[in-house]
Amino acid sequence: MSNRKYSKSFKLDTVSLALSSDKSQAQVARDLGLKETSLYAWIGKYRGEVLGTDHNMTPEQELVSLRKEVVQLKQEREILKKAAAYFAQHQA
């Protein structure tokens, strides 16, 4: 693959998809024709900029923060699954 330039919007959309998908981040990258390392770098940058990851955190603090984030994302995913099922059922 060549060194392509992607817009910030594309990168954010891709990161959002990777973080919310049931697929692995590696599979999302493959599905989009991206290098896995590119996607991992974008996710790291996203977490640092958008989520305000403090680079002065100790590893233990970062672990606690990431575990909280995982719990929150799982809850959000479950809510979205229930909403999708509800709307699919009531649309027919």
CATH number, position 32: 1.10.10
List the domain range (segments joined by +) for residue 29: 1-53
CB 53 within 8 Å of CB 47: yes
pLDDT tens track for 22-50: 888 889 999 999 999 999 999 888 877 76
State the pLDDT at residue 50: 62
Show Cβ contacts of residue 12 under 8 Å, excluding neighbours closer than 6 positions.
46
- As for how many domains the chain has, the answer is 2
% of the chain surpassing 70 pLDDT: 88
Question: Do 42 and 63 sit in the same domain of this protein?
Answer: no
pTM summary value? 0.52
* Residue whose token pair is 């027919």: 92
Question: Do 65 and 90 sit in the same domain of this protein?
Answer: yes
pLDDT tens track for 54-74: 567 788 888 888 898 899 899
Question: Do 46 and 91 sit in the same domain of this protein?
Answer: no
